[in-house]
Chains A and B, each alone.
Chain A
Amino acid sequence: MEAFDPNELPELLKLYYRRLFPFSQYYRWLNYGGVVKNYFQHREFSFTLKDDIYIRYQSFNNQSEMEKEIQKLNPHKIDIGAVYSHRPIQHNTVKLGAFQAQEKELVFDIDMTDYDDVRRCCSSADICSKCWTLMTMAIHIIDRALKEDFGFKHRLWVYSGRRGVHCWVCDETVRKLSSAVRSGIVEYLSLVKGGEEMRKKVHLSTKVHPFIRKSINIVEKYFEEYALVGQDIFENKETWDKILTLVPESIHAELQQGFQKCHNSVQRWEHLKRTVSTNRAVKNEKFGPWVEWEIMLHYCFPRLDINVSKGINHLLKSPFSVHPKTGRISVPINLQKVDQFDPFIVPTISQICHELDMVSTNEDDGDKENEAEPDTKRHTRDYKKTSLAPYVKSFEQFLEELDKSRKGELLRKSDAQRDF
C-alpha cells in the first residue's frame, strides 16, 4: 500500500478533486432535491488551504461552480456550515444582523481524545483497534436513540479521518430545529458529566430511564472483551483504585481484599458484582445493579461535544474531505456493518490516487477511446476503480433513502390537496 506523505498532499489533492471526489453525489445530498429555493446556494462552505489559511463563507450557485472552485483552490480540508438567509459569499454586502444562519443538519462529533481518562492503550490523537471499540459502541448507542427515541430517519455516520466519528442527521424537520432543542437532544444523550474537577461522572437513580436501560444492553455486549480483557481496567491496584472512587465507600475494604486474591480483571469484576449484590441483600438500597452500571457507563458510554451540536452555524468537517495529517478520506460508515468498520483500512488519498494511476496506465496501454470522453463523464466513474468505491456506494444508499422520503412527502402533500 502507498504510504501517505504530507508533502505530497498538494499534488494528490489536485488529482483527487479532478477525478475522484464524488461531486455529483455530494451535490445531490446538499441540494436536497431542490425542494427549497436556493437551499444549496445559501449553504456555507469553508476551506482550509495550504499553510492553514482558512477561508469562510464560500458558496456556490450550482454543482459545476462548486467543482470548478474546489478544483482551483484544492483545499486541504472542507467544512460544511449552515444554510443562511443570504448567499454566504455576499455576507458582507448584507445589512448587519440580517445575515442569519437558518438551518443545518443536526451534527454530532465524537472524539477519542475525550476518553483519555478511561482508555489505557493510547492517548490524545492516537487510536488503535482496541480503543476503536469505544466508537463502535458510541455509534450503536447514539444511532439507536436517534432512530427509535427521536424518530430521525436519515442519519449519516462518517469517519472523521483520524480519531473519531461524526453523525449528520438530515431529516427535513431536524434541519429546522432550534439551537435550544439541539442542546436538549445532546443532554438527553449524555450520561457522563463533569469536567476535570469531577471524578464520578455517571450518576444513576433507582428509576432507570428506558434510554439508559437500552444503552446498557448495548454496552453489555462489549464490556468484557473491551474493558476487562482489552483495557484490563482492574489490572493493578492503581487502576482499580480509580474504579473504587465510583463505588460507595463502605465496601472499599471488602473489595480491596477480594481484588488482591483475584488473578485478572474478569475475576475482579465478578467479585465486585457479587459484593454489591450481597451488600444489597443485607444492608440498604445504596447498593443495586446501578453501581456496576455506573462503572460500565463511565468507561464505555459515548462522550459528545455539545458545542458542535448546539450551534446552527457551527462548521463541521465534510464527508469525503481528506484528513491533512493522516491522508485518510472522511468516509461514510455503513450502518449495517458498524462492527466491521476498521479505521486502519480506510483508504488514504495516496492509496486511491495510486490505484487510479495503475488503472489509467493499463487503460492507456489498451485503447485510447477514453480520451474522447468528456472529463465529467469519466470523472463519475473513476472512483469506482479505487477502494473508495464501497464507501461512495453506502453514501448513495443514504441518498436513495432521502429521495424516497422526499417522494413520500410530496405524494402526501398532493393527496392532502386533493382531499381538500
Chain B
Amino acid sequence: MQFFGSKRKKLILAGDQRVASYPHSLQFYLQPPSENISLIEFETLAIDRLKLLKIVENLGVSYVKGSEQYQSKLEIEIRRLKFSYRESSDDEFEARRRDHISHFILRLAYCQSEDLRRWLIQQEMDLFRFRFSILPPDTVQGFLKDSHLQFETISKEEKALHSQDILDSSMPLGGNKYELEAVYKVPFADALDLFRGRKVYLERGFAFVPHQDIVSIILNDFRAKLSKALALTARSLPSVQSDERLQPLLNHLSHSYVGQDYNTQGNMGKISLDQLDSLAMKSFPLCMRQLHKALREHHHLRHGGRMQYGLFLKGIGLTLEQALQFWKLEFIKGKVDTDKFDKGYAYNIRHSYGKEGKRTDYTPFSCMKIILTNPPSQGDYHGCPFRHSDPELLKQRLQSSKVSQTGINQILDYVKGTHYQLACQKFFDLTHNIEDGMFSLNHPNQYFLESQKLLSGGREVRKEPSQPEVPQAKQSVQKTSNSTSSPPASLDSTLEMDMEGLEGYFSE
C-alpha cells in the first residue's frame, strides 16, 4: 500500500542509503514515509507501536520516569518489539524504518479527537525523551544539527553575572560544575515546560537553559511539530474515513487503547433525578460525590465544576431535559433567578449536549483529563480529590466514607507516589468490599458502571455501546470491545493486496 508519497520507491537500498535515510536511533518524524506496504504490514506495525506506547504509559505510571528501573524495563520492551533504540547498533535500518512508518500510521488513528491526540502526544514524548536520554553525549550535537536545532550559548561573563539566578532557578546540576556547564539562551516560549513550572531563569523574554535541561527545549519543539501535524492530518481525515479498508482498522486502533469515551450510551434516560442522591453515595467516584455535595450545599458550581459534573451526569444517562431541570432546580435555590438561568446556563448545558454552537457532542472527562488539565482554584470543587486535596482533608473524606484506617493508609501511600488513579481504584475496592481491582480504572463513568454492575448482583447491566443518537464526526462506528489489550481482529484477507491512492493525508 502506498499511503504517503507519490512515487513508488524500491525497498532495497544500498548500505549507504540505508544509513542516510535514518541517521539516528530517534527521529523528529519530519518526512512521511514514501514506500508501499501491504495492509498486513500496516496492521502489524500499528499494533506493535500501540503496544509500545501502552507500555510507555504503564511504565510511566508504575515507575518514576527516568529512574533506573523505568529505563531498563523500557529498553527491554523496545528491543522485544524490534523498534530502534540504540544509536550505536550496527544495522538498525529495519528497526528505524518500523519506527518511522508505525509512527505515521498512529497519527492517522489518533488525530481524531482532542483526547486521542493528547494521549498520543504524551506517549510519543515520553518515548522520545527516553531515546534522547540514552543518546551518547558525543552524538547529541550531531543529532541537533541534523534536526536543525541550534542554540546560542551565553558568554563566560554573562554566565558569571547571572550565576546565582540560574542556579536558583534550575534543577540541581547533577555532578556537573556550573563553570563547565554550557548555558543556552532561548526565546522563553521555546522553554515552555521549563518556565511554566519556574524551572528556568527568565530575563527580558529569554530563558537561560543549562545544557542538562536542553531535552526539554527539544521536546517542546517535538510536541509543537507533532501537535501541528496531527491537526493537519485531522483535516484530511474525511478522506481517510471514506476509505472502507482503513476506517474500521483505524477506529479499532484508537478505541482499543484509550478505552471508551463513555458518551451517550444505551442508558440514556434510565435514571430519574430523585435517584441521584442515593446513586451519588453508592456509585459515584469521590470527585463526583464532592461536586454533587458542593452543588447541593451552595446551589452553585463554577464553570470547571459544571463541565466535569455535567458531562459525567450526561454519561450516566441524564437526558438533556433532565439535565436542564436538575441544574435549574438547584441554581434557582441560590443566587440565580430563572431568567438568568435560562439566558446563560441553559445555553451551556444545551451546548454540552451538542445542541448549540459548533454542535460538538462533548464527552465526559477521563481521569487523565481531570488530573492533568484545568486544576481547581479558589471557589472550585472540581478536579481529582486524590490529586487536588490536602492530605488531611482527604483523610477526613475517606473516614466519612467508612474506609478503614489500613485502607486509608494504603490510599494515602498511592497518593504520595502520585498514583492517583490507583488510589481511586483502591477506594472503589474498599467501598465495594471486593478483593482486588477487576478492571483498570481510567474514567469516572467507568467507576459508575462497574459499581452499578456489582451492586445489581453481578448481573450484566451494561449495554454494549450503541450507535450515538446523533451521528458525530466519526461516520461509522466500529463495534468496540472493552478489553484494553486484545489486538484488533484481523481484516478480511482479500485486502492483503497492495493499496494505492491514499497519499496526501499528510500534506499541508
How far is B165's CA from A192's CA once the two chains are assembled, in angstroms?
A: 22
Instruction: State whether A211 touches B390 (Cβ < 8 A).
Output: no
Shortest distance in angstroms between B233's beta carbon and chain A's nearest beta carbon?
14
Mask of A44-75 contacts with B, CB within 8 angstroms, 1/0: 00000000101000000000000000000000
The answer to whether residues A209 and B169 also contact, given A197-B393, A199-B390 and a CB cut-off of 8 A, is yes
Question: Which one of B151-159, B197-205, B320-328, B437-445 is at the interface?
Answer: B197-205
Question: Is A15 an interface residue when CB atoms closer than 8 A count as contact?
Answer: no
Shortest distance in angstroms between B296's beta carbon and chain A's nearest beta carbon?
14
Query: Which of chain B's residues has its CB closest to A149's CB?
Result: B202
Query: Which of chain A's residues has its CB closest to B380's CB?
Result: A195
Question: Is A419 an interface residue when CB atoms closer than 8 A count as contact?
Answer: no
Query: Which of chain B's residues has its CB closest to A96's CB?
Result: B358
Question: Is B333 an interface residue when CB atoms closer than 8 A count as contact?
Answer: no
Contacts of B377 in A (CB 8 A): 114, 192-195, 303, 305-306
Shortest distance in angstroms between A201's beta carbon and chain B's nearest beta carbon?
8
Question: Which one of A1-9, A134-142, A182-190, A386-394 is at the interface?
Answer: A182-190
Instruction: State whether B376 touches A197 (Cβ < 8 A).
Output: yes
The answer to whether residues A195 and B379 also contact, given A151-B206, A184-B192, A188-B196 and a CB cut-off of 8 A, is yes
Contacts of A52 in B (CB 8 A): 339-340, 343
Contacts of A241 in B (CB 8 A): none
Q: Total interface residues on B, using CB and 8 Å?
A: 41
The answer to whether residues A210 and B197 also contact, given A52-B343, A117-B378, A303-B377 and a CB cut-off of 8 A, is no
Contacts of B290 in A (CB 8 A): 197
How far is B196's CA from A183's CA once the two chains are assembled, in angstroms?
A: 8
Instruction: State whether A196 touches B380 (Cβ < 8 A).
Output: yes
Partner among A151, A192, A207 whose Cβ is within 8 Å of the Cβ of B204: A151
Question: Is A94 an interface residue when CB atoms closer than 8 A count as contact?
Answer: no
Contacts of A210 in B (CB 8 A): 165, 168-169, 201
Question: Is A282 an interface residue when CB atoms closer than 8 A count as contact?
Answer: no
Instruction: State whether B379 touches A307 (Cβ < 8 A).
Output: no
How far is B376's CA from A144's CA once the two chains are assembled, in angstroms?
A: 26
How far is B147's CA from A395's CA once the two chains are assembled, in angstroms?
A: 46
Enumerate B250-299 residues with CB–CB distance to A below 8 Å. 290, 294
Instruction: State whether B393 touches A195 (Cβ < 8 A).
Output: no
Mask of A134-176 contacts with B, CB within 8 angstroms, 1/0: 0000000000000011111000000000000000000000000
Shortest distance in angstroms between A177's beta carbon and chain B's nearest beta carbon?
7
Partner among A114, A148, A192, A211 whose Cβ is within 8 Å of the Cβ of B379: A114
Question: Which one of B381-389, B455-463, B476-484 is at the interface?
Answer: B381-389
Question: Is A335 an interface residue when CB atoms closer than 8 A count as contact?
Answer: no
Shortest distance in angstroms between B378's beta carbon and chain A's nearest beta carbon?
4
Contacts of A77 in B (CB 8 A): none
Shortest distance in angstroms between B458's beta carbon and chain A's nearest beta carbon?
34
Query: Which of chain B's residues has its CB closest to A184's CB?
Result: B196
How far is B393's CA from A115's CA once the two chains are assembled, in angstroms?
A: 21
Question: Is B60 an interface residue when CB atoms closer than 8 A count as contact?
Answer: no
Instruction: State whether B169 touches A195 (Cβ < 8 A).
Output: no
How far is B446's CA from A14's CA once the two chains are assembled, in angstroms?
A: 56
Instruction: State whether A181 touches B189 (Cβ < 8 A).
Output: yes
Query: Which of chain A's residues has its CB closest to B389's CB?
Result: A197
Contacts of B196 in A (CB 8 A): 183-185, 187-188
9 smallest beta-carbon distances between A and B, as pairs: A151-B205, A195-B376, A184-B196, A195-B380, A151-B204, A197-B389, A149-B202, A114-B378, A187-B196
Q: List 6 A-B contacts (CB under 8 A).
A: A54-B343, A151-B205, A195-B377, A195-B381, A199-B390, A210-B168
